[in-house]
């Protein structure tokens, strides 16, 4: 039987409460199953926290801001690990969301449709 490991829900709660303006803006589209799929915010996935996670489709949506510029190698390691765990990973910048959140939501919707049809996620 696999060993159960508790999730760091306290840290996830802290991250949700400290959401960036871009995360709050995109949540307007993803929350309440706005794109037809249930998303959760700041969910632990292995040692990482996904900004947005659709468990059913194993889809992670990451918003990249200043903190991602500091250590881009960390992002590469995280993405490789998430992909090895079977997750699709999409990246958008905070600037993209703030400039046109609806366009970002449409891109996520296209990826949802692609995954549902059994297609490969775009890198």
Q: Token pair for residue 76?
A: 């590469």
Q: What is the pLDDT of residues 13-27, one digit of tens each?
A: 665 556 899 999 999
The number of folded domains in the chain is 1
Q: What is the pLDDT of residues 79-110, one digit of tens each?
A: 999 999 999 999 999 999 999 999 999 999 99
Q: Report pTM.
A: 0.82
Closest C-alpha among 3, 83, 4, 96 to residue 50: 83
**Angle of CA points 69, 75, 78, to nearest 5°:** 160
Closest C-alpha among 81, 94, 90 to residue 48: 81
The better pLDDT of the pair 36, 71 is held by: 36
Q: What is the pLDDT of residue 123?
A: 47
| Domain span including residue 88 | 20-116
Residue entry with tokens 């760091």: 8
Q: Say if residue 43's pLDDT is above 70.
A: yes
Residue 122 in any domain: the answer is: no
Residue 102 in any domain: the answer is: yes
58 conformational bin, left if phi > 0, alpha if psi -120 to 50, beta if neither: left
């Amino acid at each position: 039987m696999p060993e159960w490991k508790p999730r760091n829900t306290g840290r996830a709660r802290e991250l949700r409460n400290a959401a960036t303006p871009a995360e709050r803006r995109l949540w307007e589209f993803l929350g309440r199953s706005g794109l037809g799929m249930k998303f959760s915010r700041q969910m632990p996935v292995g040692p990482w926290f996904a900004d947005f996670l659709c468990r059913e489709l194993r889809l992670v949506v990451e918003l990249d801001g200043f903190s991602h510029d500091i250590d881009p190698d960390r992002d590469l390691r995280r993405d490789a690990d998430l992909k090895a765990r079977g997750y699709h990973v999409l990246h958008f910048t905070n600037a993209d969301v703030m400039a046109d959140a609806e366009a970002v939501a449409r891109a996520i919707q296209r990826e949802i449709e692609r995954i549902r049809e059994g297609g490969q996620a775009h890198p």
